[in-house]
Each structure stands twice: as structure tokens, then as C-alpha cells.
Amino acid sequence: MKLLREAAGLTQAQLGALVGYSEAQVAAVEQGRRIPKPEMIDAIDRAVGARGVLKAMKKEVAKARYPSFFRRYAELEAGALELHACDAQLVNGLL
């Protein structure tokens, strides 16, 4: 994101003003301290003229919310429709 912002000739403050986020928020995303929301990714993609480069990474960015060892399970959970379990000595879920 930083490379695209700089290529567009924008500062963090200018980009933040264009997309409706603060300079601190833009800086935190660029430095990897915060994970951007999908709406922010879309807005920045349009503002810097990335032609969909940032939008294409939205799924990968969403996975970054989870620790690396759990990402595969989060992906499976997102695609799950039902859970079937049969246990004789355990009650699944909350009572």
C-alpha cells in the first residue's frame, strides 16, 4: 500500500483525507500494526489508482487476523454449513 501511495504522490495525511481515515490509521496499516477493513482497502485502491491490485488481496488480508497455525481452520470454519457430532459422554455446545 505504501508503494502505491508514494507512486500516486500522496502523503499519509492526504490519502487519509481522500478515503476518510486519519493519518494515524493509514500509518498503522502501512506499518502492519493494524489490519485494514475491506471498505478501507476498496477506498485506497480507488484513491491511488491501483486498478484492483489491493482489492485482489482482500482475502489474504482477512486471513491475517488469525495466528498462522489457525488460518487453515478459520478457512474451513468459514465454509462450514453444519456440524454433526455424536458423543456418548460429552455434551457439545453451551447448556
Dihedrals phi, psi of 36, to nearest 5 degrees: -75, 150
Q: What is the pTM of this model?
A: 0.70
Q: pLDDT per position in the chain (95 positions), as tens? A: 999 999 999 999 999 999 999 999 999 999 989 999 999 999 999 999 999 999 998 888 888 888 889 988 888 888 887 777 777 777 776 65
Summarised one tens digit per residue, pLDDT across range 23-41 is 999 999 999 899 999 999 9
- Whole-angstrom distance, CA of residue 79 vs CA of residue 37: 20
Q: Is the dihedral of CA 29, 35, 41, 43 positive or negative?
A: negative
DSSP letters for 18-51: HHT--HHHHHHHHTTSSPPPHHHHHHHHHHHT-T
> For the domain 2-69, what is the CATH code?
1.10.260.40
Every domain of the chain and the residues it spans: 2-69
